[in-house]
Chain A
Amino acid sequence: MDYFLELFFSGLTRGSIYALIALGYTMVYGIIQLINFAHGEIYMIGAFVALIVSGVCTIYGLSGFAILILAAAIAAVYAAAYGFTLERVAYRPLRGSPRLSALISAIGMSIFLQNYVLLAQTPDFLPFPRLIPDLAFIEPVAHIIGTPELVILITTLITMVVLTFLIKKTRVGKAMRATQQDLSMARLVGINVDNVISLTFIIGSVMAAIGGVLVASYIGQVSFYIGFLAGIKAFTAAVLGGIGSIPGAVLGGLIIGWSESFAAGYISSDYEDVITFVLLVVILIFRPAGILGKVHKQKV
């Protein structure tokens, strides 16, 4: 039973991270119908910036949980800046071009950013400083859920509540939903669609960065390559839940987290990554709209 619970919580932890990244995919897709291939790279850059900030701090003698929060904040700012620039440089000039063009541009950007970090930093894995202290009260259940998992779960929960509030209750949220419904109509009623799109990239990137920092401090290492796999898995989560749907992204993330964790725990960890792809293919074949997605007929 304990083993089951352990797997359950580790799946939940992973899943909530996938969900955080998946939200970025889903929100961007909802508005401009583009798979932002470089989104995984934004996540990686977030993790890297956090590593650099906390690394510099620890080397100059500072340490502790506060450093992690500082690192996360700076990482979020940078991820937002990269996300914003990415859209301006690689996607905006291609609005109105065939979808294939935008998609190739996205893939190009993903390759570019990966190699940019590789060249500017290092091809190797770098250890991430341990900044999350072990909490005493969690000691009795530590074999099921540790402090880092708890921190991740709480952080993701807060992030998602904030996001929901932002989208449901604020003016910009309303503008985003309107744009998602019908971009040209939103423009007609006076919404600055360009700003909404930029904002969507910024929000998505911030969440990816939060995910990146959490994973980095949890797993304890960072490399230029981590964005690739995480990106694919998160994308799968978004599709599984129904691309364009925010609750769908969360649900999809959790399902993938659990299936990976249980597959690794009860079957074999060799094929852990395979599970995701099998899930992806199966969903796309049998229910391309995803679990919570609406079946959408293309207008002719």
Chain B
Amino acid sequence: MKIILRDFKKSLLISLWFMFLTFPLVVVRVNTIENVVVWRWSNLIWVAAGSFFLSYLWRYMLARRNRRRKIAEEGVETRGRLQMLLENEQLRNRVLAILLALALVFPLVFDTYQTNIMVTALIFVVLGLGLNIGVGLAGLLDLGYVAFFGLGAYCYAILNHNFDLGFWFVLPIGGMIGCLFGVILGFPILRLRGDYLAIVTLGFGMLFRVIMENWETLSSGPSGIANIDRPGLFGLEMTLAQSTTYIYYIMVALVVLTIIVTNRLKNSRIGRAWIALREDEVACVAMGIDMGRTKLSAYALGAFWAGMVGVIFAAKTTFINPASFTFMESAIILSIVVLGGMGSILGVILGAFILILLPEYLRAFAEYRMLIFGAAMVLMMIFRPQGLISGLRQVYTYKGHKTHVGVKEQPINE
């Protein structure tokens, strides 16, 4: 009883506090151009009720999190049921096969409009997987990732306009340019501590936009480049619908490729070094891993995917300008990785679909999209830092080959 009363009092106070806090911004709206003031008192009621209710939820969630942490510290299994299911490789592969089949028939069932949205979602899947290499696996917070995406897009737009180069020719070049700039930019800055890295990459992201806006001769400035060629198929003439379907299949192929490559890397000598670097830099170098090279490879490889998918983006929209490559895009890609699960391939795919498709289909949600993404990043870090689906634990099998002299030949049961 006492606790209920205490909680009630607390929530009431919190509710009052947030009413005070939001009052000037949420209730009053001044238009200093037309000199009118609007008082929106009804908003205050929403804030009061919302914060009252949420404070209860917050307390409950926080208590639950702390309880779980304690359990985990005692070494008890804390994986969820979904996690266990997914770690069953056979089941996982079956699920992936079904998803792939669904993806392949999608454009046959749905119209061009839907297919187009799906292409956008797939683009963000690749971007998410690319950023995941740096942020999720190697722990390098990159806030300017969109610059590499833009680099790829501009690369195609410029080469296509000035030299009439085709999509398929530029596609790998876009990736390579992204990679190259990743190496050039990464080389001096990757020694920096994590938080400095975040700011510098943020700066790079903005720098890219400033340069594209001002270097008129190269990029046509803020007005952008239009009439970029769509991808060609042996010189075949295609209608808009056909072309969209074509791009869709290209994207599906690229997504599959990205998944295979990142998955293989993740479970390789290199991928383990990335993860070790994320977990503890000092221990990592003391175990003989070259920090500079390892970081650079993660950063440049992430940039590679962004550059490549940038080319596809330019070919899909046929028009690009600097406004498509702002911090907001970087933030969306980061949210995808954080929400889905840092280091988790399945998680990032799920994250991209949720974050891109939800605002498309729930128009009411679209307006509040960035607000919710921002809040989601905070909440995920507090309550579920591993994301929706955490990185799957890799289980290696021991075959009992003789290795060192004197090794005991007994298989280990798991």
A–B contact at 8 Å CB threshold (below): yes
Which residues of A in the span 105-153 have a Cβ within 8 Å of any Cβ on B? 105, 107-117, 119-122, 126-129
Least CB separation from A268: chain B residue: B214
Q: Mark B366-384, 1 if CB is under 8 A from A, else 0.
A: 0110110111111001100
Partner of B375, one of A100, A112, A119, A281: A112
Which of B125-133, B203-211, B317-325 faces chain A?
B203-211
Residue of B nearest to A285 (CB): B188
Contacts of A103 in B (CB 8 A): 141, 194-195, 198
19 contacts between A and B (CB under 8 A): A35-B195, A35-B199, A49-B24, A52-B24, A93-B382, A105-B382, A108-B373, A109-B378, A111-B373, A116-B371, A120-B22, A120-B26, A273-B210, A274-B207, A277-B200, A281-B189, A281-B203, A288-B196, A298-B282
- Residues 187-214 of chain A: 1 if any B CB is under 8 Å from the residue's CB, otherwise 0? 0000000000000000000000000000
A300 within 8 A of B: yes
**Measured between alpha carbons, how far is A60 from B37 in the docked complex, in Å?**
9
B30 adjacent to chain A (CB < 8 Å):
yes
State which of A58, A60, A271, A298 has its C-beta within 8 Å of the C-beta of B214: A271
Give bound CA distance, A128 to B206, whole Å.
27
B202 at the interface (CB under 8 A from A): yes
Whole-angstrom CA separation of A192 from B196 in the bound complex: 29
Asked whether B370 lies within 8 Å of A115 as measured between CB atoms, the reply is: yes
Inter-chain contact A280/B24, CB cutoff 8 Å:
no
Which residue on A lies nearest to B327, using beta carbons? A228
Shortest distance from the beta carbon of B154 to any chain A beta carbon, whole Å: 18
Q: Identify 6 new A-B residue pairs, CB closer than 8 A, beyond the known A90-B382, A108-B377, A300-B282.
A: A55-B30, A111-B370, A112-B374, A232-B199, A270-B210, A284-B196
B36 close to A (CB within 8 Å): yes
CB atoms of A126 and B32 under 8 A apart: yes
Q: Does A104 contact B (CB under 8 A)?
A: yes
For the complex, give the distance between the alpha carbons of A260 and B203 in Å. 16
A181 in the interface (beta carbon within 8 A): no
A281 with B188: in contact, given A100-B194, A103-B198, A126-B33 (CB under 8 Å)? yes
- The reply on B298 being an interface residue by CB < 8 A is no
Q: Is the CB of A121 within 8 A of B29?
A: yes
Report the bound CA distance from A188 to B62 in whole Å: 26
Q: Is the CB of A284 within 8 A of B189?
A: yes
* A221 vs B18: C-alpha distance when bound (angstroms): 27
Instruction: Provide the residues of chain A in CB contact with B153, threshold 8 Å.
Output: none
Instruction: Report A40-73 CB contacts with B as 1/0, cut-off 8 Å.
Output: 0000010011011101101110000000000000
If A35-B195, A49-B24, A104-B381 touch, whether A55 touches B37 (CB-CB below 8 Å) is yes
Select A284's contact among B192, B204, B375, beta carbons within 8 Å.
B192
Instruction: Please report the total number of A residues contacting B with Cβ < 8 Å.
Output: 68
Taking a contact as CB atoms under 8 Å apart, the answer to whether A108 and B381 are in contact is yes
B97 at the interface (CB under 8 A from A): no
Any B CB within 8 A of the CB of A239? yes
Find out whether the CB atom of A81 lies under 8 angstroms from the CB atom of B21: yes
Q: Which residues of B contact A55 (CB under 8 A)?
A: 30, 32, 37
Q: How far, in Å, is B177 (CB) from chain A's closest CB?
A: 20
Using Cβ atoms and an 8 Å threshold, which residues of chain B touch A288?
192-193, 196
Task: Mark interface residues in B161-202 (1 if CB within 8 Å of A CB, else 0).
Answer: 000000000000000000000000000110011111011101
Q: Are B24 and A78 in contact (CB under 8 A)?
A: yes
Closest to A55 in B: B30
Interface residues of B (CB under 8 A from A): 17, 20-22, 24-26, 28-33, 35-37, 62, 139, 141, 143, 188-189, 192-196, 198-200, 202-204, 206-207, 210-211, 214, 278, 282, 327, 331, 334-335, 338, 367-368, 370-371, 373-378, 381-382, 385
- Cα-based distance from A114 to B371 in the complex (angstroms): 8
Minimal Cβ-Cβ distance residue in B for A37 = B198
The answer to whether B196 and A108 touch across the interface, beta carbons within 8 angstroms, is no
Q: How far is the CB of B41 from chain A (nearest CB, A)?
A: 14
Q: Scoring A residues 72 to 103 as 1 if CB is less than 8 Å from chain B, else 0, what string do you get?
A: 00100010011001000110011001111111
CA distance A299 to B72 in the complex (A): 28
Closest 3 CB pairs of A and B: A108-B377, A112-B374, A111-B374
Which residues of B lie under 8 Å from residue A116 when comparing CB positions? 25, 371
Q: Which of A78, A105, A284 contacts B377 (CB 8 A)?
A: A105
Q: Does A235 contact B (CB under 8 A)?
A: yes
The answer for the CA separation of A58 and B32 in the assembled complex, in Å, is: 9
Please, which residues of chain A bring their CB within 8 A of the CB of B282? 298, 300
Contacts of B207 in A (CB 8 A): 274, 277
Determine whether A34 belongs to the interface, using a CB cutoff of 8 Å to chain B: yes
Q: Is the CB of A232 within 8 A of B214?
A: no
In the complex, what distance in Å separates the CA atom of A102 from the CA atom of B210? 29
Nearest chain B residue, comparing its CB with the CB of A224? B25
A55-B29 Cα distance, complex, nearest whole Å: 10
Smallest CB–CB gap between B210 and chain A, Å? Answer: 6
Tell me which residues across on chain A come within 8 A of B334, comparing CB atoms.
104, 107
Residues of B within 8 A of A128 (CB): 32
Q: How distant is A49 from chain B, measured CB to nearest CB, in Å? A: 5
The 8 Å CB contact of B30, one of A59, A98, A239, A280, is: A59
